Amino acid sequence: MTMMMFRDALRQALREEMQRDPRVFLLGEDIGRYGGAYAVTKGLLEEFGPQRVIDTPMSEGTIVGAAVGAAMTGGRPVAEIMYVDFLAYAMDQLVNQAAKIHYMFGGQIHVPIVVRTQQGTGRGAGAQHSQSLEAWFVHIPGLKVVAPATPEDAKGLLKSAIRDGNPVVFLEHKGLYAIKGEVPDHEYLIPIGRARVARPGSDITLISYSRTMYLALEAADALAQSGIQAEVIDLRTLKPLDMETIIASVKHTRRAVVIHEASLTAGLGAEIASRLSEALFGRLAAPVRRVAALDIPLPANSHLEKLIVPDTARIVRAAQETLGYTVKETTA
């Protein structure tokens, strides 16, 4: 195992896949000479040349559209979109084309593209550069959606995404690039669609992904001080969603809190809560709770930003309220 940053694990995955498969190439704004907005592609232009590390114009529709065309004709493009907010400019190419071509051509054509993009708060970047828009893409049949939290998962899942025959939206929280973690030295892949138990527990299940997974772990530590053992599930993949792992955990604990940085309304937490209610109706000891961002545009002021998104205290409070929930008997 080698200790490395999240961004370095991603770069290692790109390098290894480009060495392994000459069809893999990169395209996006400032990914070549500049090395990427968050330095993920630094040094790859010098190693692989401008034919495989392509600096594009500032046009997200062009980037994704070119990647779709290249994938349909045998390439394995990895497109970088500087901020997930800017994928709004490429929704036709991603949602109406990439996600549907395999189906509409009767399975004759594959679109093996990976769209790497950055999202999330923590830098005071404002309402147009800080959103978490995973629910947009999870809603679309034909897309896979990945959101790793650790350097090990970032590398293993990116390699799997590049080898996948389907379009994959690969979400990287901008607050994770500098975190460090152990990454195996040997060749490995992490299957898309498989969650992991980040911390075992017996009293309540905390379900999260990406940066908020670390907040869930901090909340579990805080709860443990009062004798509460919380199990933490790191989803890793948002679509397909590993409901088998989630249900197995909640069937045991009978209580669950879902945490994400995206806005509350129609976020992924609502989908998970609904599926748990359908699967475990009558077996839950309390309603599934959600801890998410408030339904307002994100401010550039970093102090206000912190008030809007989940923190450890909010997760602990939600868990305690869930554990203290009792069914009130109604009287005629």
Which residues participate in catalysis according to the annotation? Answer: 60, 129
Contact between 119 and 133 under an 8 Å Cβ cutoff? The reply is yes
CA-based nearest residue to 161, from 115, 213, 99 = 115
Contact between 219 and 319 under an 8 Å Cβ cutoff? The reply is yes
Q: What is the chain's Cα-based Rg? A: 20
Query: How buried is residue 61: exposed, middle or buried, by Cβ count under 10 Å (0-12/13-18/19+)?
Result: middle
Burial 13-46 (b: 16+ CB within 10 A, else e): bbebbbeeeebbbbbbbebbeebbbbbbbbebbe
CB atoms within 10 A of CB 96: 11
Q: What are the C-alpha distances in Å from 200 to residues 37, 122, 223, 256?
A: 36, 28, 13, 14
Distance separating alpha carbons of residues 34 and 46, to the nearest angstrom: 11
Distance separating alpha carbons of residues 229 and 284, to the nearest angstrom: 17
- Strands 180-183 vs 256-263: parallel, antiparallel or unpaired: unpaired
94: tokens are 């991603």
CA-based nearest residue to 213, from 307, 312, 85, 319 = 312
Element (H, E) at 196: strand 196-199
Element (H, E) at 317: helix 312-323
- Strands 180-183 vs 2-5: parallel, antiparallel or unpaired: antiparallel
